[in-house]
């Protein structure tokens, strides 16, 4: 069955002399394995698409639970800003690894939405650290960890909140700060906002 599936390539493996097997994270079908025949060839039309971080619509001979075969790809976004910046690229790599691992435990399609939305915003030059922390906070729900965002998790104080500690499960106030990164009041407000809403 030929299907057009939106997704992002999260890993690639060489297969034989000229082909690749790519894993595509999708909203509709989860993480699927796809054969990209001849993708390592300089003349292949799949060469630029059968590689990690490609985000687009993948046309393929889809086989549920089996290895599918890639036909062609329509790019949705090249993530040019991210791919030309080593720091941003490291964020992207981390976020993809994080979300795919959590997805494997939960199979919740919204995890895919969170990943794509976060990457698009990082590509628009919004703060990658803030966006990464927001996504980490959102993903804690899928691990069964609720966050305390109405005050400091250590003392209960709801004033002078200056950072968040995921391990402790919520905000940290100025008096309880140890080694955490200090955030501005605006960032704290953003975390509260995005924890209760979609990253969009």
Band (130; pLDDT cuts 50, 70, 90): confident
Residue ending a domain, choose from 77, 111, 141 = 77
- Give yes or no: residues 36 and 8 share one domain: yes
Between the alpha carbon of residue 16 and those of residues 35, 36, 40, 52, the distances in Å are: 11, 11, 10, 18
Q: Residue range 159-166: average pLDDT? A: 84
Please write the tens of the pLDDT for every residue from 35-59: 999 999 999 999 999 999 999 999 9
Alpha helices in 17-174 (DSSP H): 80-83, 86-106, 110-123, 128-140
pLDDT(81) > 70: yes
pLDDT at 139 over 90: no
Could you tell me how far CA 43 lies from the centroid of its own chain?
A: 31
- The whole domain housing 192 covers 81-196
Higher pLDDT pick, 188 / 156: 156
Residue with tokens 């996504």: 135
pTM score: 0.77
- Percentage with pLDDT > 90 across the chain: 64
- Whether residue 50 contacts residue 12, with contact meaning beta carbons closer than 8 Å, is answered with yes
Statement to judge: residues 129 and 182 lie in one domain: yes
Tell me how many domains the chain contains.
Answer: 2
* Mean pLDDT, range 88-108, rounded to an integer: 94
């Amino acid at each position: 069955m030929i299907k057009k599936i939106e997704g992002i390539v999260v890993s690639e493996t060489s297969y034989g002399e000229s082909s690749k097997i790519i894993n595509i994270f999708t909203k509709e079908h989860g993480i699927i394995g796809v054969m990209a025949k001849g993708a390592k060839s300089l003349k292949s039309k799949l060469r630029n698409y059968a590689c990690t971080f490609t985000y687009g619509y993948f046309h393929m001979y889809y086989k549920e639970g089996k290895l599918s075969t890639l036909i062609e790809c329509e790019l949705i976004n090249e993530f040019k800003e991210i791919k030309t910046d080593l720091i941003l690229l490291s964020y992207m790599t981390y976020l993809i690894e994080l979300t795919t691992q959590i997805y494997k435990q939960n199979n919740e399609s919204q995890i895919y939405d969170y990943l794509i939305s976060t990457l698009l915003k990082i590509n628009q030059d919004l703060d990658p650290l803030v966006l990464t922390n927001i996504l980490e906070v959102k993903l804690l729900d899928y691990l069964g960890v609720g966050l305390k965002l109405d005050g400091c998790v250590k003392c209960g104080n709801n004033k002078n909140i200056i950072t968040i500690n995921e391990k402790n499960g919520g905000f940290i106030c100025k008096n309880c700060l140890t080694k955490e990164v200090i955030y501005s009041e605006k960032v704290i407000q953003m975390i509260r906002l995005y924890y209760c809403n979609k990253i969009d």
